Structure 1
Amino acid sequence: MPDPPARAWRGIGHSTNLVGRCSAWLASCGFNDAPVPLHIWGVREMNPSLFTMLDQAETLPEAGGAFLSYLTAMFGLDPEQRAPAPAGCRRFRSSVLRLIQGWGFDSNGAEGAVLKGWVESRFGICPSFHRQIIDHIASPAWATYVEEKMSSRFHNNTIWVQLDLLFEFCQWAIARFAFPGETHLTLYRGINALDEHRILERQGRTAVLRLNNLVSFTSDREVADCFGDQILAARVPLPKVLFFNGLLPSRLLQGEGEFLVIGGEFRVALDHV
């Protein structure tokens, strides 16, 4: 017999986004089951030279190198990060590379807040966890999240525009080199306790969970074993992937076969380690 239905909690969200799709649908299993391509308004149209350059690449590493060169030129990453300021300090301008590196160390740090804020802005899906459970927008947990997502420490140098470009490049690379013709990947996530998650439905070894608005998965089940005594296996729609190991010629998230995925409701299979 299936467990009794959970309290109808569909998460915090809003109707506005920059992908032209209903935010509630984007966060639902309905989208995950039958995904459609997603594009952030205006990104490709405003950066035609980038995608012209990418179309000339013959391999994913070549395309990744071209993308990094474009970011460096557009956002002045190397000069600002390496040149000493007048007072002898190094001036800092935020970059997507620094955000993803920070996420790898702690997804609930300041970098994680900026990434979750970008998902909220572009997809209309709000976080359900940042340092603690976020139940409603009047809570102290929400205030902490908002303060960190807007902090000038990382929220400068048009960082969300950089993330827009990363998402569009990731989607381009998925279709061109990484997973051409595919719509989903089976990915894994290790957890310690299922009851720490919002369980919307459960029947035997399958469940529908409300995951955070940005969540890490791995393509390697053995890696997921290291992060908890239960494994979630999900068919992740490729239009929800923001970043994956190997997308860029760097060491970011390299050791764990990690994927950064836009969250919401996911139908998962449950297994014990």
Structure 2
Amino acid sequence: MDQVITRKGSHGHSTNLVGLPTGLLGSPAFNDLPRPLHISGVREMNRGLFQMLGRSDGRHEAADAFSKYMTAMFGIDPEQRTTVEPAGGIPRPYRASFIRLLLGWGYDSNSAEGAVLKGWVESRFGLVPTFHREPIRDTDSPAWDAYVDQKMASKFHNNSIWAQLDILYEYCQWAITSGTAPLGEHITLYRGVNSFEEHQIVERLDRRSVVMRFNNLGSFSSDREVADCFGETILTVRVPTVKVLFFNALLPLYPLKGEAEYLVIGGDYRVTADKI
């Protein structure tokens, strides 16, 4: 990792919707000793969902309750996830959904869908992206402008998409803390890389370990062998589960299953790097 330039600076905005300073939220100290995180007002505004979840018996029943609630609230049942014209030739309206965003992310995290997801993290957690198609050095740059154009695309903001992601995050955290999908306080995850263009080294700890600033949202795998397929260097990270937005076992039907993928909110993490 000698080619990487050490970089420091602000994590992002001074305000967020989780009630902790953004600098703390993005720090290794928070990752070591995490606190519960909740997006302001989401559980209160969706009390019916969490009452149903509280009565559910096991992961599959909880996932079914979540899916039915999202269908009722946002009209994202299977027939409405596509713009293909049904029999009779009457086109269905396009409805943005968290499922479409996860699918787009799965194909390319630097897609327009990826920009919307990174924009949601920026809005709710205050952490700005460090990379979208190219490094984002500051907010007065063509890279930032291109990211903003994509994250605010009207195509993805016609169905309260950030509210959908708020509920998805809170459902994920409910599943973790209720024992429905027990992960504990931390989980060890892996990421395979060939280039460090997306990552900023904040501090070198020893020959193999650094503090690395990850993008405000990133993909990791719980399977070391899967991570081996994506790069010659494997990053090993101990992630607090309060920073997990989505993971492979959360829902029975989801786009990221094949790679045991976890979507993790970023910031500065202690990382161990190993060559394959």
TM range (shorter): over 0.9
- The structure 2 residue matched to 1:242, chosen from 223, 240, 245, is 245
Unaligned segments of structure 2, at least 5 residues: none
CA distance 1:161–1:58, shift in 2 (3 Å): same
- The structure 2 residue matched to 1:141, chosen from 140, 143, 155, is 143
1:245 alignment partner AA: N
Give 1:209-248 correspondences, 5 Å limit.
209-248=212-251
- 1:75 equivalenced with 2:78 (yes/no): no
Other-structure match for 2:30: 31
CA distance 1:120–1:82, shift in 2 (3 Å): closer
1:157 alignment partner AA: N
Q: Percent identity?
A: 57
Other-structure match for 1:162: 164
* Worse overlay, 185-194 or 105-114: 185-194
Q: Secondary structure at the match of 1:129?
A: coil
Cα distance in structure 2, aligned partners of 1:110 and 1:210: 22
- The structure 1 residue matched to 2:96, chosen from 89, 94, 97, is 94
TM-superposed deviation, 1:6: 6.2
**CA deviation vs aligned residue, 1:89-125 (integer Å, no higher than 9, x gap):** 3311101011011100000000000000000000000
Cα distance in structure 2, aligned partners of 1:211 and 1:9: 12
CA distance 1:149–1:198, shift in 2 (3 Å): same
**CA deviation vs aligned residue, 1:128-155 (integer Å, no higher than 9, x gap):** 0001100010100000100000001112
TM-superposed deviation, 1:7: 4.6
CA distance 1:145–1:179, shift in 2 (3 Å): same
TM-superposed deviation, 1:267: 0.5
- 1:198 equivalenced with 2:200 (yes/no): yes
TM-superposed deviation, 1:88: 3.2
TM-score, normalization: structure 2?
A: 0.92
Contact 1:61 1:247 in 2 (8 A): no
2:222 alignment partner AA: S
TM-superposed deviation, 1:30: 1.0
Moved over 2 A (4+): 5-8, 78-90, 193-197
Cα distance in structure 2, aligned partners of 1:195 and 1:207: 15
Give 1:97-112 correspondences, 5 Å limit.
97-112=99-114
- The structure 1 residue matched to 2:177, chosen from 175, 178, 185, is 175
Unaligned segments of structure 1, at least 5 residues: none
TM-superposed deviation, 1:80: 4.5
CA distance 1:183–1:12, shift in 2 (3 Å): closer
2:193 alignment partner AA: I
Cα distance in structure 1, aligned partners of 2:82 and 2:218: 32
The alignment yields a C-alpha RMSD, in angstroms, of 2.0
Contact 2:135 2:198 in 1 (8 A): no
**CA deviation vs aligned residue, 1:32-83 (integer Å, no higher than 9, x gap):** 1110000000011111110010011111121111101100000122364469
Q: Secondary structure at the match of 1:16?
A: coil
CA distance 1:99–1:236, shift in 2 (3 Å): same
Other-structure match for 2:211: 208
Contact 2:236 2:272 in 1 (8 A): yes
Q: Secondary structure at the match of 2:163?
A: helix
TM-score, normalization: structure 1?
A: 0.93
CA distance 1:241–1:81, shift in 2 (3 Å): closer
CA distance 1:95–1:195, shift in 2 (3 Å): closer
Other-structure match for 1:151: 153
* Worse overlay, 193-202 or 64-73: 193-202
